[in-house]
Amino acid sequence: MVRRFFAAGFILALSASLVWAGAIVSEFRGEPARNKVTLKWTAEAEINLKAFEIERGLDERTFEKIATVDAKGNPTVKTDYSYEDNTVFKTTTRVYYYRLKIIDRDESYTYSNTIHVNPTISSARATWGSIKAMFR
């Protein structure tokens, strides 16, 4: 009985914290394709939500912002979003980590779960990306 009460309280607190963040991201996935990664996510209960910042990293600790997608702001239905990362050829690593920074209108934010993707990169594009990186 105590365990059930504790588990229900934990789930309720977690759900409330996600709603306070401006949205609930119910699904976040990455789909590798030739020379790109397509990120797709579904948001629910978009209340006072401003935007999603897409962050990418080469490990699970260090991320940098690569794009911003404005929120559609629908508080009553699920909303699907997508973004294509066409810059995956610029580094030699084959694993990319992504997360969403969920930004509220008052500039408070939370993060989604982190996903990892192994994109398919053509050898010609990988070579060109390496050459460009040498001159930066």
Span 24-72, pLDDT tens digits: 999 999 999 888 999 999 999 899 999 999 999 999 999 999 999 999 9
- CA quadruple 94, 65, 103, 107: dihedral, nearest 10: 150
Integer Rg of the chain from CA:
18
Q: Which range of residues forms the domain containing residue 49?
A: 2-134
**pLDDT value of position 33:** 86
**100, 54 contact by CB (below 8 A):** yes
CB 58 within 8 A of CB 116: no
Q: Which residue has the higher pLDDT, 134 or 2?
A: 134
Predicted confidence band of residue 96 (pLDDT cuts 50, 70, 90): very high
How far, CA to CA in Å, does 5 sit from each of 10, 13, 19, 64, 69?
A: 9, 12, 21, 39, 38
Main-chain dihedrals φ then ψ at residue 125, nearest 5 degrees: -70, -40
Instruction: Kindly report the pTM of this predicted structure.
Output: 0.72
Number of domains in the chain: 1
Query: Residue 8 sits in a domain of what CATH number?
Result: 2.60.40.10
pLDDT at 89 over 80: no
Express each pLDDT in 3-17 by its tens digit: 454 444 444 334 443
**3-class DSSP assignment, residue 21:** coil
